[in-house]
Amino acid sequence: MEKYDLIIIGAGPSGLTAALYAGRAGYTMLMIEKTGPGGQIMLTDKIDNYPGFEDGISGFELQDKLYKQAVKFGLHMISDSVISIKKENDLFIVSTLTGKTFTSISVILSTGATHRLLGVQGESRLSGKGVSYCGTCDGPFYRNREVVIIGGGDTALTEALFIAKFAKKITIIHRKETFRAVSSLIKQTTSLPNISFIMNSVVTEITGENEVNGVVVNNIKTGAIETLKTDGVFVFVGLDPNTDFVDSSLLDKAKYIITNDKMETSVKGLFAAGDVRSETFRQIVCACSDGAKSAQYAGEFIDEQKGNSYQ
């Protein structure tokens, strides 16, 4: 069994920043990531609110910079999915889907979150056949075509702005009277001529035989039901934390990990950072900040365990 000072699970902005700080401080570490580096930022075209890039930066480019910077300070990443963590005799035992087991003095959980499904008829059958959860990936397929976007938060409106570069017509359907998104995004989307809005409404079915051809829309105020013709449906209705393998005693009601200000969970030596944390502002800059703090306090914990405390 390979043994490390620190295992970081998840290579999104929080995990990569944790790796940068831990590597720079000289700790031995392993990062386990189930897809590739970047996490959710790989799903977004342009990031305008990460400090230091006055003209914005693409998700791919930011991922590339974060990853290379962490590698420079010793990041070693393997591709695998973590399925369990146990603590035995002061060591964490981390097991993966491919049957590997690693041990460490401390662990940082930076597994982020995954888009939520709408849960209506037609959605899973037509997923990849007109139903999408990533505007950056699939928006360009809808050049001069019509799409529906479901959702009313920052992600829905940000993605609408991107897809609007291609689509002839976008209809945003939101179940509330007003949007949850920040006012600058609302201003931008409402000013575009190819975006229209249906408020107080939910999509109850996505229709089409082999590809999407429409959505059934239910106005929850009036009860009116209409079928809207569309070529594609983008679903942005929130996130679920990636915590299936985390003990339920560490989670809040929505299954996010509870930590204190030092990113510590209730298990000594086990930290969490980024979107996977309970009650956090789910943004890249906050994920990076969490990553830095988790590495700092994990480092102090590792030093204590090794008897290296300099305080």
By annotation, the residues acting in catalysis are 134, 137-138
299 binds ligand FAD (CB under 6 A): no
Rounded distance, CA 190 to CA 44, Å? 20
- Within residues 62-81, the interface with ligand FAD by CB under 6 A covers 81
152 binds ligand FAD (CB under 6 A): no
Nearer to ligand FAD, 274 or 299 (CB): 274
Least gap, CB of 153 to ligand FAD (angstroms): 10
Least gap, CB of 155 to ligand FAD (angstroms): 5
41 binds ligand FAD (CB under 6 A): yes
Yes or no: say if 221 and 134 are a contact pair by the CB < 8 Å rule. no
Rounded distance, CA 303 to CA 311, Å? 10
Q: Figure out which of the listed residues 6, 11, 131, 173 binds ligand FAD, where binding follows CB under 6 A.
A: 11
Beta pairing, strands 270-272 & 195-198: unpaired
Nearer to ligand FAD, 15 or 23 (CB): 15
Q: Taking CA 151 as the corner, what is the angle to CA 145 and CA 154, rounded to the nearest 5 degrees?
A: 100
Least gap, CB of 293 to ligand FAD (angstroms): 13
Nearer to ligand FAD, 5 or 275 (CB): 275
Q: Figure out which of the listed residues 4, 12, 160, 170 binds ligand FAD, where binding follows CB under 6 A.
A: 12
Closest CA to 301 of 267, 274, 276: 267
- Within residues 175-204, the interface with ligand FAD by CB under 6 A covers none
Least gap, CB of 194 to ligand FAD (angstroms): 20
- Distance of CA 84 to CAs 120, 198, 212, 256, Å? 31, 43, 38, 16
Q: Is the dihedral of CA 50, 15, 294, 82 positive or negative?
A: positive
Pair of tokens at residue 165:
């570069």
Site size toward ligand FAD, by CB under 6 A? 37
Rounded distance, CA 161 to CA 187, Å? 11
Nearer to ligand FAD, 107 or 217 (CB): 107
35 binds ligand FAD (CB under 6 A): yes
- Pick the piece of the chain touching ligand FAD (CB under 6 A) from 107-115, 145-153, 184-192, 227-235: 107-115
Round the CA-based radius of gyration of the chain to a whole number and report it. 21
- Pick the piece of the chain touching ligand FAD (CB under 6 A) from 141-149, 166-174, 278-286, 292-300: 278-286
138 binds ligand FAD (CB under 6 A): no
Yes or no: say if 185 and 154 are a contact pair by the CB < 8 Å rule. yes
Least gap, CB of 9 to ligand FAD (angstroms): 5
Least gap, CB of 190 to ligand FAD (angstroms): 19
Helix (H) or strand (E) holding 64: helix 59-72
Rounded distance, CA 118 to CA 122, Å? 10
Q: Taking CA 171 as the corner, what is the angle to CA 178 and CA 157, rounded to the nearest 5 degrees?
A: 55
Residues that bind ligand FAD (CB under 6 A): 9-15, 32-35, 39-41, 43-44, 47, 49, 81-82, 110-113, 155, 158-159, 242, 245, 274-276, 282-285, 287
